[in-house]
Amino acid sequence: MRRVPALTRRQLMVMAVTWSAAGAVLAVAPQGAAILGIGLAFTAGLSALWSP
């Protein structure tokens, strides 16, 4: 599987840590779980554009 989009290991690590930290902050917000669920569902829906 190709690494997307040609990220270095360091860039991947920074990305994972940064977004995980943002997620930890979002988790304590009111309705944080619902917001995350909506974000995931929306992303999954748009990703269907790439369906075979």
Partner 1 sequence: MVGTMVPIVYGARDNRAYGVVVSHTAGLLIGSFLLGLTLWWAFGLAFGASRAVGGGELVLSVVAALYGLHHLGVVRLPIPSLRWQVPARWRGSRRRGWVAFAYGLGLGVGLLTHVQTASMYFAGLLAAVSLNAATAGFIMATFGLARALPLIVFVGRADSAGLAFAFNDTVLRHRAVMATANGVMLFLLAGAGLSWFLR
Asked if 15 and 6 touch (Cβ cutoff 8 Å), the reply is: no
Give the shortest CB-8-to-partner 1 separation in angstroms: 11
Give the shortest CB-37-to-partner 1 separation in angstroms: 3
Closest among 4, 47, 15 to 23, alpha carbons compared: 15
Give the shortest CB-10-to-partner 1 separation in angstroms: 13
Interface with partner 1 includes 14 (CB under 8 A)?
no
Spatial neighbors of 7 by CB under 8 A, at least 6 apart, are 15
- Footprint of partner 1 on this chain (CB under 8 A)? 1-5, 7, 12, 15-16, 19-28, 32-34, 36-52
